[in-house]
Amino acid sequence: MADKQYAKPGEYSIVDMLAVASAREVKDEEVVFAGTGLPMLAIMLAQQLSAPNSKLIYEAGTIDSKGDSLPSSVGDPRCVTKASVASGLFDVFNQLQRGKVDLAYLGGAEIDKYGNVNTTVVGDYLTPSMRFPGSGGNPDINSLARRTVFIMVQEKRRFKEQVDYITSPGWMVKKWPEGTLVHRQEAYGKKFLGGPSAVITNMAVFRFNEEIGTMYVDTLHPGVTREQLQENTGFTLDFSHCKGETEPPTYEELRILRDVVDPEGIFLPPIK
């Protein structure tokens, strides 16, 4: 697309921005593990544009789904449409354990500068101030996919110096029993395949220095300043590798997203 026509502020929503930015993470011919919501928008948009030969796995048990309409969840019968395999959790998680998944999309309640994610509790584990639904498949997916993209809301209470509980390990994890931080590769040994590669929020795109295991700012979404981003983060941000502004959605990306991927508005809010 040599002459990209970018949408202007007000012509797209933050959900559009998140879906488009997430879709740009998919490479052609990759196997992608997706959950309900934004991950569905992202992978289906990517298949229409940059990654037509990518393969989609839905967590509930379908592999290589080729639905003509957007499912409302990973358990929607539409996930089975033209799928190569329609089975269950055992089969799709077996693909993870065999190292066949290139990219996985996940979310979380808290994340720290090393990419450790909490979906378990706020506060002490035994006497928490808030208890979340729990891990689900989060640690398995994050541990076994070759790379993971987290989609989260940018808030100081969510982006913390240290998460209250590590549900899903990032690039630096505690080695037991001594509890010292070691690199993910050392902890995983021969099972190491990769780790968190990006965090996409309503304000920015973050990536990781995989050698030292820390997060840095890659791009700021249009209209967001460095000061605003830092105000919404609980640790000091690294802007040393910041490329500038995230590319806004193009009109073509928005057209496909709204008219082809989600014409029913299942996950996309209307533009006012």
Residues with active-site annotation: 59
Cα 166 from Cα 235, distance rounded (Å): 17
Maximum distance among all Cα pairs of the chain, rounded to whole angstroms: 56
Cα–Cα–Cα angle for 247, 252, 256, nearest 5°? 115
For 70-83, give one letter per residue: b (16+ CB within 10 A) or e: bbbebebeebbeeb
Q: 217, 218, 208: which is closest to 184 by C-alpha?
A: 208
In b/e form, how buried is each residue of 225-245, taking b as 16+ CB within 10 angstroms? eeeebeebbbeebeeeebeee
Residue 146 burial (C-beta neighbours within 10 Å; 0-12, 13-18, 19+):
middle
